[in-house]
Amino acid sequence: MKHAEDYIKYLKDEHSLLLSLHFDRSFYGRLSSALIRFIQPLNFHTNAYCLKIKGLKQPLCLKNQENILKSCKKDESILSTCHAGVTEFIYPLFFKDTAVGYICVSGYMAKDCNAEGSLWKSALKSKIPEDKLNILIPPLAHMLTTLISEDKTESDNEFDRIINFLSEYHKDISLSALAARFSRSKSHISHLFKTNCGMTLRAYLNSLKLRDALILLRETDLPVTEIALDSGFNDTSYFIYLFKKEFGTSPLKYRKKEL
C-alpha cells in the first residue's frame, strides 16, 4: 500500500493531476478496513467546479459514475465527458474479470461545450494530456489491482463503509436517512461515531463540508455566502462560526492569506 500512496503523491505533486478513485458501492463490502481507509480520502473530486456542480446536481454526478463503470474494458483507458462539461481520463480496475472501479483524472474542459459560468473556464484546464496519462496511470492501476486481489476482508468494516459512503453523500443527509441506508438504528449509528472518531455524526459531516469549503475558498472567487451553500451549509453565519472554530480565522481572512 505504501508504494501506491507514494506514487499517487508523485502524480499529484510532480504532475499536478487531480486524481480520484471510484468503486462500485457493492464492492466495498468485501474490502478490509485498511484498504477502505486508503481509498476514502481519494474518493471525491477536488476540482472547485466539480465541487460546486455536485452540490447542485449530485444525483447526475453519481449516475455518471455508474455509467462510466458499465463502459469500462480491461486495460483500456477512455475519455468520458460528464453532464457538466468536464472531460475525465478513466482507467478501469478489475477484480476477477469484473470492473469494480476506476481511476479518474479530472479537471479538463470538454470540447464543443458551452457550460455556463466563469468557474467552468477558470477551474478547468483546456487540454487533457491523454498520451502522458496513458503512460503514468497504468502503473497505478497495476498497484491497485494487486492490492484488491490480495486484500483480506475483515469481519466487520461497517464503520469504514459508512465513512466512505459519506465522502459522496455528506452535504444533505440526516441521521435517520443514514440509519435507513445501512439498516441500522439511529442510536447504533451515533454509537459508531462516538466510539470510532469521538464525535457526533453532525460534527463529522461538518468537517467534510468545511473541507469542501476550503477548496472553494482557495480556488475560486465565489462569495462566502455562495460557498457556504455549495458546501452544504444553509446558514452562512453558522458556517462562519464553524470555520473560525476549526481554523482560527474567518473564511475571508483565510482566502486573503492563501492568495
CB half-sphere exposure, 233, CA atoms < 13 A = 24
Q: What value does the mean pLDDT of the chain take?
A: 87
Give this prediction's pTM. Answer: 0.77
Question: Looking at the domain 2-150, which fold is it?
Answer: Beta-Lactamase (3.30.450)
User: In terms of Cα–Cα distance, which of 208, 200, 159 is closest to 55?
Assistant: 208
Partners of residue 90 on adjacent β-strands: 78, 104
Same fold across 2-150 and 170-258: no
Structural domain boundaries of the chain? 2-150, 170-258
Residues in the chain: 259
For residue 96, what pLDDT is reported? 86
Residue entry with cell 460557498: 227
Give the torsion through C-alpha atoms of 228, 233, 234, 235, to 10 deg: -80
Give pLDDT < 70 ranges for the chain: 29, 55-58, 112-117, 152-156, 258-259
Cite the DSSP H helix spans in the chain.
Answer: 2-15, 33-39, 48-71, 118-123, 130-150, 158-166, 175-181, 186-197, 201-219, 224-230, 236-247, 251-258
Q: Which CATH architecture has domain 170-258?
A: Orthogonal Bundle (1.10)
Distance CA 107, CA 87 (A): 7
For residue 126, what pLDDT is reported? 87
Give the helix/strand (H/E) hosting 97: none
